Copies of this chain bind each other. A is one copy, B any other.
Amino acid sequence: MKLTIYDIAEKAGVSPATVSRVINKKGNVGAATRKRVEDIIAEENYVPNATAQNLSNGSSHLLVFIVPDIENPFFGKILHGITERAEEMGYSVLLYGTDGDLDKEHQILHTLRTDMIEGVFISIAKDDDQVSIRALERLKSGGIPVVLVDRDIENTIFDGIFSDDQQGAYDAVQCLIKEGHRNIGIITGPEHSLPSKSRLTGYRMALEDENIPYRREYVVDGNFRIEESYRATEQLINLKIPPSAIFTCNNLSTLGCLHYLTSHGYTVGKDISLISFDEIPELTYGGVRLTSVDRPVVEMGYEAMNIMYRRLTENQGTTANTISWYDKIVQRSFVKTKIVLRGSEKLNPKESKDKKL
């Protein structure tokens, strides 16, 4: 049923070796022979068996992306970037979701079919989980490039693509301060997430630079989740002196926060100010104008694949057990953030009475 290289060879009256040569455009084949073989391949609709090719030349062009939250549009964009570029370069990407669950992450990392996989992208669940880190190090030293996506690991030298979280947060909070806010709340992400930590640092720096005291009660954990950020907001609002502005550390925190605010009669940009880290385009389309820290997310995906590709190809000339790239300089890229003003950083602007929206 399934055609093999032998069938083609027979029909073309040549040896399998020759067929292989024309398929891979390697080695010398007479023009006439080549044509004949190509014709047969075309008319028989023959496609070489990739598994056999992989086994024979030890490469699969398979990559994997381990992602904590498949449904989060942020990762949808990253994924878009990675797969698009990967397809261009002849690679395919396998997707695994951990749902942010460490056990699941360990499980996936452990059962990874490392022999048929050439590289790993990962947005780790926890920035200091030794089991996962150890697993990644094992991959890396086994010659499988690892590219961290968005979520960095402290004191490590893995390649990766990140964004300038601290600066983004700094800009956002500074913007709020410029608007006259002194009591600024922040809804943070998981304690063990480097992006979350950096954003908190940005918040502190901005306060510090303006000589505004850092107040512990204005910092609440939303764990990068909607439900918990709803609670966090509730907590902030119920303080003796509630903040007049809130900075939310990711898109889901923003939604949770907004949910609390709108369902309790607060109008953002009027009764309370809000700046979101990461854009939520749906809100903008829906007329909810939120000032946000924007970053080129799809491009982060592209860059992740670029880094991966360099790693994958820089080995070329070396012998199998000389892991040349391992010692080379680490490839870590950072994208810049940019604040997009839409009015939610203000408080009770006069326009809110006059204009229809």
**A: which residues have CB within 8 A of B?**
1-2, 47-52, 54-55, 60, 62, 70-73, 75-77, 79-80, 83-84, 87, 92-97, 99, 108, 113-116, 226, 255-256, 258-259, 261-263, 265, 267, 280-288, 298, 320-321, 356-357
Contact = CB atoms under 8 A, between A and B. Distances in A.
A226 B80 contact: no
B70 A73 contact: no
B226 A285 contact: yes
A95 B52 CA distance: 22
Contact of A55 (B52, B83, B288, B321): B52
Contact of A357 (B47, B71, B255, B265): B265
A94 B97 contact: no
A46 to B, nearest CB: 11
Given A51-B115, A87-B108, A282-B283, 7 more contacts: A62-B94, A83-B97, A258-B287, A259-B286, A261-B287, A265-B356, A283-B288
A97 B72 CA distance: 17
Contacts of A259: 284-286
A114 B32 CA distance: 29
Nearest to A45: B138
A160 to B, nearest CB: 21
Contact of A320 (B1, B50, B285, B357): B1
Contacts of A92: 94, 96, 113
